[in-house]
Amino acid sequence: MSSTREKGNILEDIVRLLHDLPDVKVETRVRLPSIRAGSTRKREIDVLLTSSVAGYPVRIAIECKNYRNKIKSEKIDGFVGKLADVGIPAVNGIYVTTTGYRSDALKLAKESGIRALVLEGLDRERIRLEVNAAMRSVVFYLAIWISLSRFDDLDPDVSINMPAPVVDFPEELGQGTPSIITLFALLWQRDEIPTAMGTHLLAIRMPQDFRFSKDEAPAARALVMLTYEVVAYVDAITGTSSAAVLRDAATQTVEKVRVDAQFGNVTRLGQLRRFESEEELRTFLGESRFNIVTKVKVPRVQSEWCFWPPSRRAAEEIMRRRQAGEEPKFEEIEGCKLNAAWEASIYEEGVEDPRGGAE
């Protein structure tokens, strides 16, 4: 069983770490001389912070008590006396305990200018920080093309009113259905369409005489309704964490927090879990008491055959399968991982469009 002194040292060391900041000298168990005339005694300060303001030294003394019971007013009074003995104003005094304060102690601390704080995070024996499960999660948001619906020969004077974004197709993107998917990918990359999880509609006004394919006549005036879904894939790594929190005993305001987490070394994406709603995702991420979450938007969208715009590898594989009379499938072209979405696209390398867009 740890001694009272050992438990006190543990608390002091944690408080020291919580105040370890640039330009602040942090010392533990410092013995300061009395300023009273004729006195030769020294008083121990559990944690002493020393810094400067406009060139003038400033000292803050912290008293740390890792007791089983709540702090009484006598302890606050003793700390005020110690501060006066070593020449530190009471307003520069902080009292830290692990078990809280009695009402009379809080009242005296407020009247004296002492900040009364409580440290949270120790285990039941108050000998170390409590270790909890932790998780580090990378959330990948992916837009998936679902379908295109065409409405030809629209009256140009009729306004379009619908609960969906309406955009004009840029003629510089060329002709053919693949160019519509390219526009979808560009809008996704630029955050110009909804990116929240769920199913969305996008209305696209096509230019006059747009060709959807080489084999059909141009559409005089067309509107395309594109349906897409945003899902999340999560790569989660489990580990352990410990957290120390200093909280104001009177207001319950958090003053300082220190979290230490440890995770295994990971060099590649692990098994990804798919989520289709924000509620489902929040529930999963909230299962761990401590979770480091990184959010990443996948740079390309998912089309029926591949990530779009396709990579050189995907484009060549699609063309090979089409020439062999086979129907390309996304899972066979891209596999089951998201890594392929970060490969260079055909537009960066000048590869022939694998879907055979209209000229």
Q: Is the pLDDT of residue 278 over 80?
A: yes
For residue 9, tell me if it sits in a domain: yes
Whether 79 is covered by a domain: the verdict is yes
Q: Look at residue 270 and give its three-state secondary structure.
A: coil
| pLDDT surpasses 90 at 165 | no
Asked if residue 45 is part of any domain, the answer here is yes
Phi, psi of 303 (to 5 degrees): -100, -175
- The whole-number average pLDDT for the span 77-100 is 97
Residue 236 lies in a domain: no
Is the predicted pLDDT of residue 358 greater than 50, yes or no?
no
How far apart are alpha carbons 212 and 191 in whole angstroms? 26
The answer to whether residues 135 and 238 touch, using CB atoms and an 8 Å cutoff, is: yes
Structural domain contains residue 68: yes
Domain range for 36 is: 4-120
- The pTM assigned to this predicted structure is 0.70
pLDDT band at 290 (very low <50, low <70, confident <90, very high): confident
Averaged confidence pLDDT in the chain:
89
Specify the pLDDT at position 261.
85
pLDDT above 60 for 11: yes
Position with higher pLDDT, 166 vs 93: 93
Spatial contact of 45 and 30, defined as CB atoms under 8 Å apart: yes
In a domain, 320, yes or no: no
Decide if 217 is inside a domain. Answer: no
The pLDDT-based confidence of 153 (bands split at 50, 70, 90) is confident
Please count the structural domains in the chain.
1
CATH number of the domain encompassing residue 55 = 3.40.1350.10
Answer whether residue 270 shows pLDDT above 80.
no
Residue 76 lies in a domain: yes
Nearest to 222 by CA among 162, 303, 168, 184: 168
